[in-house]
Amino acid sequence: MSTYERIDIAALELDELESALERLGHPRFHARQAFQWIHRRGVTEFAQMTDLSRDLRRRLEAEFEIQTPQVIRRDVSSDGTTKFLLELADGKQIESVFIPDTPAQTFCISTQVGCAMRCAFCLTGRMGIDRNLTAGEIAGQVRVLARELRMLDTRFNIVLMGMGEPLHNYESTMQALRILADDHGLSVNPRRVTLSTVGVLPALERLATEPVMPNLAISLHSTTEEQRDLLVPINRKYGLKELLDACRRFPVKRRERITFEYVMLKGVNDSPDDARRLVRLLHGIRGKVNLLPLNEAANIPFERPSDETVNRFAKIVADHGVTVSVRKSRGRDIRAACGQLITETARTQTPGRRLAMLMQQGV
């Protein structure tokens, strides 16, 4: 059988693998053994599965393959953040990031090659969308980072905040989370996973019904419909009011809150009026605000506000009883900070300085 016809075993959930091996005439417990080898121990070859018979390993080799993202480059920031450039089986490239001491260890994972959302302040949006990642490629990033960093036996957090919009690749994203949560694999508790979305409403409403449910972060970034239309173009399809209404209906667990991410842009969305509007928008939602002063980059037509402006904004929000934090940028010197992930094959699709001028004029 040709390599290209084999099934990627790393993309199968345990019950799917059990059924596949049963069809081949093997007991279901062999699937659990293979699943553990791949996802808990990080092996990349069937020959390494030493508690399986040689006959079974040969059969697995004939029927399946273990697709594993390959590390092409590894950059380490002065603050300890590590960015991995990974190559997939078809030659496409993505980036994943390890952020230490946050206070937990955190893996920032991609869900697409590029991104279709085209947010005005995000480098990844310049790429456009190339393709979705498979469940195996999403979970595979975690396997690779855990193996490379010698953390297969260490607890860590996962944020789906890398390249791509997770809810735009819903099926593969949720399948990957189920693979990662499986007790026979890395056993990552969904409470240690945060999914960040700009608000793809049908998928967000579907997420509310999932048995394996990560923490939710909403990329808000604006306090008016008109402004968000320019900053986050999907708002023209799923408006701010509809998004916040969906958040009010979202089943937030006890002692948990929805995080609202707000990238701060100098002279655009950082005024006291913006802060007061933000408080009013979040009324009735169990939420908290995470302010992200812009990580500036070439070809992004916005500037980072001053620390004084950020602190004033945060104080207004906090004084109105909303929990607020200011995210410290990590890995900026290696272009690993929020909104800076982009591979060398990126296409130059981005809003220009005209957009920044319109925003500063209050359009």
Mean pLDDT over 25-29 rounds to 93
Please determine, looking at this structure, whether the domain spanning 3-65 carries the CATH number 3.40.640.10.
no
Q: Which residues make Cβ contacts (< 8 Å) with residue 311, sequence separation at least 6?
A: 326
Residue 95 known to be catalytic:
yes
Could you give the percent of the chain with pLDDT greater than 70? 89
Condensed to tens digits (0 to 9), the pLDDT of residues 258-281 reads: 999 999 999 999 999 999 999 999
**CATH top-level class for 70-352?**
alpha beta
Chain mean position to CA 314: 25
Active-site pick, 18, 95, 137, 165: 95
- Pairing mode, strands 93-99 and 106-108: antiparallel
Residue 20: the pLDDT is 94
Could you give the percent of the chain with pLDDT greater than 90? 80
Secondary structure (3-state) at 237: coil
pLDDT at residue 345 is higher than 90: no
Query: What is the three-state SS of 128-197?
Result: CEEEECCHHHHHHHHHHHHHHCCCCCCCCEEEECCCCCHHHHHHHHHHHHHHHHCCCCCCCCHHHEEEEE
Condensed to tens digits (0 to 9), the pLDDT of residues 120-145 reads: 998 888 889 999 999 999 999 999 99
End-to-end alpha-carbon separation of the chain, Å?
59
Sign of the torsion formed by the C-alpha atoms of 251, 187, 156 and 123:
negative
- Domains of the chain, by residue range, sit at 3-65, 70-352
pLDDT at residue 347 is higher than 50: no
Integer Cα distance of 302 and 332 in angstroms:
16
Active-site pick, 108, 122, 247, 338: 338
Please give the mean pLDDT across all residues of the chain: 90
Integer Cα distance of 176 and 20 in angstroms:
18
Integer Cα distance of 87 and 189 in angstroms:
27
The pTM of the full predicted model, rounded to 2 decimals, is 0.89
pLDDT at residue 157 is higher than 60: yes
Residue 205 known to be catalytic:
no
Please say whether the beta carbons of 111 and 132 come within 8 A.
yes
pLDDT at residue 354 is higher than 60: no
Q: Where does the pLDDT of residue 332 fall: very low under 50, low under 70, confident under 90, or very high at 90 and above?
A: low
Please say whether the beta carbons of 215 and 194 come within 8 A.
yes
Which secondary structure element, helix H or strand E, spans residue 114, and what is its range? strand 112-114
Radius of gyration of the chain (CA): 21
The string of DSSP letters for 82-110 reads EEEEEE-TTS-EEEEEEE--SSS-EEE--
- Pairing mode, strands 258-264 and 215-219: parallel
Residue 185: the pLDDT is 96
The region of weakest confidence among 100-114, 159-173, 236-250 is: 100-114
